[in-house]
Structure 1
Amino acid sequence: MATSQRVINFGAGPSALPDSVLEDATKGLLNFDNTGIGIAEISHRSPEFTAYLASVEALIRQQLNVPSTHSILFTQGGGTGQFSAVVLNLLARHRLLYPDLREEERNLDYVLTGSWSLAAWKEGVRLGGGKVNVVADGRRGSEDGKTFDNVPGRDSFRFSENPALVYYCENETVNGVQFKHALSDGDSQEEKEEEEGMFPFHLLPKDQLVPLVGDYSSSFMSRSIPHLADHAVIYAGAQKNIGPAGLTILIVRNDCIVDVDTAAQLGAQPVPITLSYKTLAEGNSVYNTPPVLAIYISGLVLKRNAELGGVEYYERVNRRKAEMVYECLRLGEGKGVFKGYVKKGSESWMNVVFVVLGEGKEKEFLKGAEERGMVGIKGHRSVGGIRISLYNAITEEQTEKLVKYMREFVESQ
């Protein structure tokens, strides 16, 4: 299919990639770095690929200002794999720091804002090894007490004093809930960070290296990461903003790369070797075969990002895209055509979720979008409705086309 025939993919993942990147990738599939070997065929330990891997790491480090206190690792298993890995690695760290504590004295703190943080919490409960707490729950702020439609109020957060980990999901892909972002204008940084809807970094335990874990799978590289250096682990599946499915990117604070085998001798749960951050770090992310093709395409995306202006560029563009769509959503709500799922102040820049009111109207809306070359907007099977994903590869022009259709649909009802 020629480029001119491509549809606009508003899907939540695997997601759209820039046309120019896909065109460049086809060249690498045949001949990577003038080796005469395609990228999908080349050894992951070849000097050409290991040099490329180092360049991908450098692009991430530069664009997100990742300090030398943190390592950047590449692995497989997606965000779901990290639900397990963060528990096992950080419990091992906690065991090494506090070998005499009983399991019930080791706290794992989870902030619940949607389906993915709920899944992470469930995995923490399943693995055990400590007391698994819900330190804030967005459902308590909903009208029915059951729906994830808001970021919990900061007064509801109750962190443990010495947790083994503190987990949060920055953007909930299914539910369309995201922590607010402190922009560079307006109030001072301190004042902005204490606003409702922000993650309450100021409430975390003081005077310790807090084992803060941020799941950034669906917002990675879409805007800056606040307090990045204070995180123990940040992870992201590549299949939203960076590249194809199969690659998971980790930013791990070096004190959290621990000897899990020594921890196991002290009573911690054994960590599978490919989930151990120490294994990944010491093996320079090639202990076993990584997702070579996904890394290659992600590197092409990151190189293009840098040429456009990096995270700062996308932060501006993504803000404008989201504002366009939400303005049209509000128009549709006022006309009784659309109804948003998420409370104001908690809406995601990346995933706009709503329902189309009226018998058969959702099907009509989806059909009209497809006829105009826009696909992937049906909501997640667990919640239904409409979900429009505005990842980095979606341009402002494509967003304008969507908004134009939404307005036409509203006016036709």
Structure 2
Amino acid sequence: MSDGRVINFGAGPSALPASVLEEAAKGLLNFNGTGIGIAEISHRSKEFTAFLAEVESLIRSQLDVPETHSILFTQGGGSAQFSAVVLNLLARHHLLNPDLPERDLDYVVTGSWSKKAAEEARRLGGGRVNVVVDARASSKDGRTFDSIPAHASYSFTSPNPALIYYCENETVDGVEFSNDASSPASFPFHLLPQNTPLLPLVGDYSSSFMSRPIPRLADHAIIYAGAQKNIGPAGLTILIVRKDCLVDVDAAAKLGAAPVPLTMAYKTLADNSSVYNTPAVLPIYISGLVLRRSAEQGGVQYYEALNKRKADKLYAAIKEGEARGVFRAKVKEGSGSLMNVVFDVVGDGAEAKFISGAEALGMKAIKGHRSVGGIRVSLYNAVTEEQTDVIVAFMKSFLAQ
């Protein structure tokens, strides 16, 4: 490419819009006319706190977040939230049920990240971890994550769990819940415990946040997302927390709950408007610029339609390659992610040839995650339809060879 930039299909940190990067470069020198660069300015300055409030407003309006939920900004990515959701929701559960002898934590395991989340819950202790469903049981080989399980496979056994966790999009495995409630690959909201008010439902939306609407957002206790997919650079984590989950963790500890580090306690973040300690100032700034641009283009509804068009083109090319015995889909039809499209290139040395051919044409970061191999093409919001057309054209030329 003439400016030296390539097409970045990486799974994260991912592509960002060039116009945003150009605007952010100006802010690095002079943020909002302060004469101070955004990476230098105080996180407690009136200019930055006003910008932080705007970022919150942009998320709230585009996702239609109700006033029952707070929007918080923290650090540590999704992996830190594997721990934080357990600690905060166990604290809440102790306050609501101080005399309960045992506490249940329900995990829907559909891929590598939800598997890691369940493992972290076991490591922390404090409750019995129940695997509501393990998608590997219904896979082709019984070992891989290649689909969203059928609704009949789920078993929510506890009427009063401390939390119910799922990962909406599995970045490594390319599996994603459908937004269509009638689809067998949708999340089974109708199977959740019906007699529990204010369900402790937790959704990891890291890889799809701001790419499409979130189904039944108001029914969630916590939604979290690392910014480094669709919104900004690595270093920022965004939380949407229902206000009944902003609990006094010290009071809960007196009732037997595990102590919660102050910087991981949701109430601490909320009480201090996400600036209890220094937040990720630069990632917040770039994320705000991305969110402004998103609002101008039509928000999550615009991106949902765009991302579906991109993914449909890519899946069609994979299907054509399967018919010729050159490509092999890793995910069953209907369960494929709009964000992370995964497949194999069949034949000795064929995968390496495919990757080197793509790189020669300026397409980077398409090698699959080290744990599963193959090819992974990530189609986050900043990846344009025209850029998607480039890799689809390459795939067809590869088939012709």
1:132 and 2:103 correspond: no
For residues 263-274 of structure 1, the aligned pairs below 5 Å read 263-274=252-263
> Deviations along 1:226-260, whole A, 9 cap, x unmatched?
00000000000000000000000000000011000
Q: Mean alpha-carbon deviation: is it higher for 140-149 or for 322-331?
A: 140-149
1:314 and 2:307 correspond: no
> Deviations along 1:200-228, whole A, 9 cap, x unmatched?
00111114111000000000000100000
* Deviation at residue 411 of structure 1 after TM alignment: 1.1
* Deviation at residue 361 of structure 1 after TM alignment: 0.6
Q: Which residue of the other structure, out of 139, 142, 145, is the alignment partner of 2:142?
A: 145
**Map of 2:54 onto structure 1:** 55
Is the Cα–Cα contact under 8 Å of residues 172 and 178 in structure 1 kept in the other structure?
A: yes
* Deviation at residue 150 of structure 1 after TM alignment: 0.8
Is the Cα–Cα contact under 8 Å of residues 233 and 252 in structure 1 kept in the other structure?
A: yes
CA–CA distance in 2 between the matches of 1:157 and 1:195?
15
Is the Cα–Cα contact under 8 Å of residues 214 and 234 in structure 1 kept in the other structure?
A: yes
For residues 15-54 of structure 1, the aligned pairs below 5 Å read 15-54=14-53
Q: Secondary structure at the match of 1:320?
A: helix
1:195 and 2:183 correspond: yes
% same residue: 69
Is the Cα–Cα contact under 8 Å of residues 71 and 253 in structure 1 kept in the other structure?
A: yes
**Map of 1:285 onto structure 2:** 274
CA–CA distance in 2 between the matches of 1:362 and 1:341?
14
Q: Which residue of the other structure, out of 347, 359, 367, is the alignment partner of 2:348?
A: 359
**Map of 1:161 onto structure 2:** 159
For residues 346-385 of structure 1, the aligned pairs below 5 Å read 346-385=335-374
List alignment gaps of at least 5 residues for structure 2. none
* Deviation at residue 329 of structure 1 after TM alignment: 0.4
1:68 and 2:56 correspond: no
CA–CA distance in 2 between the matches of 1:228 and 1:4?
41
Residues 323, 304 of structure 1: alpha-carbon distance in 2 compared, 3 angstrom cutoff: same
Residues 100, 3 of structure 1: alpha-carbon distance in 2 compared, 3 angstrom cutoff: farther
CA–CA distance in 2 between the matches of 1:334 and 1:35?
59
Tell me the number of residue pairs that the alignment of Structure 1 and Structure 2 aligns: 399
What is the root-mean-square deviation of aligned Cα atoms in Å? 0.8
CA–CA distance in 1 between the matches of 2:193 and 2:2?
52
Is the Cα–Cα contact under 8 Å of residues 74 and 248 in structure 1 kept in the other structure?
A: yes
Aligned residue identity for 1:202:
H
CA–CA distance in 2 between the matches of 1:315 and 1:154?
24
Q: Which residue of the other structure, out of 239, 263, 266, is the alignment partner of 1:250?
A: 239
> Deviations along 1:314-336, whole A, 9 cap, x unmatched?
00000000000000000000000
**Map of 2:110 onto structure 1:** 113
**Map of 1:230 onto structure 2:** 219
> Deviations along 1:23-73, whole A, 9 cap, x unmatched?
000000000010000000000000000000000000000000000000000
Is the Cα–Cα contact under 8 Å of residues 30 and 39 in structure 1 kept in the other structure?
A: yes
CA–CA distance in 2 between the matches of 1:322 and 1:376?
17
Q: Secondary structure at the match of 1:71?
A: strand
* Deviation at residue 195 of structure 1 after TM alignment: 3.0
* Deviation at residue 3 of structure 1 after TM alignment: 6.8
* Deviation at residue 146 of structure 1 after TM alignment: 1.1
Q: Which runs of 4+ in 1 moved over 2 A?
A: 2-5
CA–CA distance in 1 between the matches of 2:209 and 2:72?
14
**Map of 1:186 onto structure 2:** none
* Deviation at residue 353 of structure 1 after TM alignment: 0.5
1:328 and 2:317 correspond: yes
**Map of 1:185 onto structure 2:** none
CA–CA distance in 1 between the matches of 2:194 and 2:348?
53
Q: Which residue of the other structure, out of 394, 403, 406, is the alignment partner of 2:383?
A: 394
* Deviation at residue 194 of structure 1 after TM alignment: 4.5
1:220 and 2:217 correspond: no
**Map of 1:205 onto structure 2:** 193
CA–CA distance in 1 between the matches of 2:399 and 2:292?
40
List alignment gaps of at least 5 residues for structure 1. 183-192
Residues 59, 3 of structure 1: alpha-carbon distance in 2 compared, 3 angstrom cutoff: farther
Aligned residue identity for 2:185:
G
CA–CA distance in 2 between the matches of 1:252 and 1:197?
25
